[in-house]
Chain A
Amino acid sequence: MAEINLIQNIGVSGFIFCALLLILPFMVSYYFKLGIIKKSVIIVSRMSFQLFLTGLLLTVVFDINNPLINVLWVFVMLFFATYTILEGTDFKTGPFLPTMLILFSIANILVLFYFTGFIIKLDDIFEARYLIPIAGMLMGNSLRANIVALNDFYQDVKNNEQRYLYRLCVGASKKEALFPYMQRSMLSSLKPTLANMATMGIVFLPGMMTGQILGGVDPILAIKYQITIMVAIFVTTVLGVLICVIVVVEKGFDDYDLMVEDIKKV
C-alpha cells in the first residue's frame, strides 16, 4: 500500500475546482453559439458516472482477484469493443458480430497472455491489476484502426468496382483481385499507430507512463512498460486489421464474387 499512498488524493474541493474549469468552455460555447453547454454537462456527468461505476467494480474485482472473473471481465470488454467497432462502420452489426467477436477474442487474448506471461513474467498471469488495464489498452488503442480498415476496404472496392470486376473477368480469384485493396486499407489504417509510436516521448508522454510516474514508479520502469505495451498494441492492431479485412472478404462478397449490398446499414 506504501506506493499507492505516494499519490496525492483529489478531494471534494478538488472536484469543485475542476468543475469551475468548465466555465471556460461554456463561455466559448456561449460566445460562438456552439450550443454544446447542455451536451457537455450531460456527457461529463455520464463519463463521471461510468468511471465511478468502473472504479467501484474494479475495486471489487481487484479485491477478489479470481482468474475466472478476471477473464470474464476481459470478455465483456471484448464484446463492447467489437460492438463499438461495428457501430462505427457502415456495416450492419448483427451479421458481423459473432465472427468478429470470436476472431478478436483469439487475437487479443493471445497477445494479452503473451504479454503477462512472457514479457512481464507475472507469477499469476490472470492477476486483475495487470490483466484488466492491459487488456483495455490493447483493445482501446486498436479500435480506431479497425474501424478505418473496415470502412476503407469496402468503400475502396466500391469506388473502383469496375477495376475489381475486370480483374475477375480476366481470371483472378477473389483474393487476387482484392489483394491491392487489402494492402491499401491495411496501410492506411496502420499509419496512425506507426506515427503515434514515432513521436512517442518527444511530443507527449503517453497516458500509461504518466499514470505510473504519478503513481510513484521510477521513470525508467515506466518507459519499459510503455515500450512493451506499445509493441503489444501495434501487434494487436495489425491482427485486428487483418481480421477486419478477412471478415469483409468472406462476408462482403457473394458466390459470384460480386459485392453484397445488404450488409450495409440502411
Chain B
Amino acid sequence: MGKNIIEYRDLSIIHSHQKVLENFNLIIKEGEKVLIRGKSGTGKSTLFLCLLGLMRPSKGDVYFKDLPVNGNSVSVVRTKIAYVPQDVDVGRDSVNEFFDTIFSYNAVGFTPDFEKIQRLLEWFELDDSILKKEFKSLSGGEKQRIILILSLLLERNVFLLDEPTSSLDSSLKSKVVDYFVNDPSLTVVVISHDPQWEREGLRVVDIPNK
C-alpha cells in the first residue's frame, strides 16, 4: 500500500462539555476509499473539520501526508483537499460568479477551461443555463451537484465528502459512487447513509455511539 495520506492519532473532541470522540485512531493510505458510518452526533463530520483545521481537537493529533495539522501547515493542507460539505452558502452569487471567486484565489492557481465545466455539467445531468442562476435558488440536488463539480474542477487527489449524494436520484448516486471508487489515483473519505456507497473496494469505519 502507498503512503499515509490521513492519520488521526488518539483524537479526542469535547464539544460544549460533551465528549464527541475519544481516543480515535485511523490511518488512510493513498488511493484508499473509506466510508465512515455512525449515528448522527457521533462526530463523523468533526473528523473532516479537524483535518481541515476548522476545529481544534481537544486531545491528539491529525496528520496530512505525515505533516501535523497546525497553524503553520493548515493553509497548505486546505489547498490539497477537495472538501464537499453538506451545505454551502455562497451569498447571492450566481454559479458562475461562485466559480470565478474560487478560481481567483492565489493558492488555487488556475482557471478551468469552459469545456471541462460543460463536460462535467453534462455528466451530472445539468443544463448549461444553471451557470447563470443564483446558487441560492437551486434545489438541494442541484446545489449538491454544483459543489461536486467544483470539487472535481479543483483537480485535487484527496476528497472529503460529507453526505455528497443525499439529494441525488438513485441512478446518479450510483454514477457518482462509481466515479469516486473506480479512480485509483483518488483518496476518498466519505460520510454517507446511502447504501450505494457500501460496496466492494470500500473500507467501512464505524464510529461507535457514545
Contacts and interface: CB of A to CB of B under 8 A. Distances in A.
A165 B87 CA distance: 12
Contact of A171 (B79, B88, B91): B79
Contacts of A172: 102, 105, 107-108
Given A162-B87, A257-B75, A169 B52 contact: yes
A166 B78 contact: no
B53 interface: yes
A170 B91 contact: no
B54 A165 contact: yes
Given A160-B89, A166-B88, A170-B102, A256 B56 contact: yes
B18 interface: no
B contact face: mostly helix, strand, loop, or mixed: loop
B8 interface: no
Interface residues of A, number: 19
A170 B85 contact: no
Contacts of A163: 88-91
Contact of B108 (A165, A170, A180): A170
A176 B91 CA distance: 16
A169 B83 contact: yes
A254 interface: yes
A171 B71 contact: no
A254 B71 contact: yes
Contacts of A180: 91
Nearest to B54: A165
Contacts of B88: 162-163, 166
Nearest to B154: A170
A7 to B, nearest CB: 55
A173 B85 CA distance: 19
Interface residues of B, number: 28
B81 interface: yes
A255 B79 CA distance: 16
Contacts of A165: 54
A213 interface: no
A173 B107 contact: yes
Interface in A247-266: 254-258
Nearest to B87: A162
A256 B74 contact: yes
Contacts of A258: 53-54
B78 A169 contact: yes
Interface string A157-197: 00010110111111111001000100000000000000000
Interface in B68-119: 70-72, 74-75, 78-79, 81, 83, 85, 87-91, 101-102, 104-108
A172 B108 CA distance: 8
Most B-side CB within 10 Å, residue of A160, A165, A169, A255:
A169
Contacts of B91: 160, 163, 180
A258 B85 CA distance: 17
A179 B57 CA distance: 28
A162 B162 CA distance: 15
Nearest to B160: A169
Interface of A: 160, 162-163, 165-173, 176, 180, 254-258
27 contacts: A160-B89, A160-B91, A162-B87, A162-B89, A163-B89, A165-B54, A166-B83, A166-B85, A166-B88, A167-B105, A168-B52, A169-B52, A170-B78, A170-B108, A171-B79, A171-B108, A172-B105, A173-B106, A176-B104, A176-B105, A176-B106, A254-B71, A256-B54, A256-B56, A256-B74, A257-B53, A257-B75
Q: Which 3 A-B pairs have the closest CB atoms?
A: A255-B71, A171-B79, A171-B107
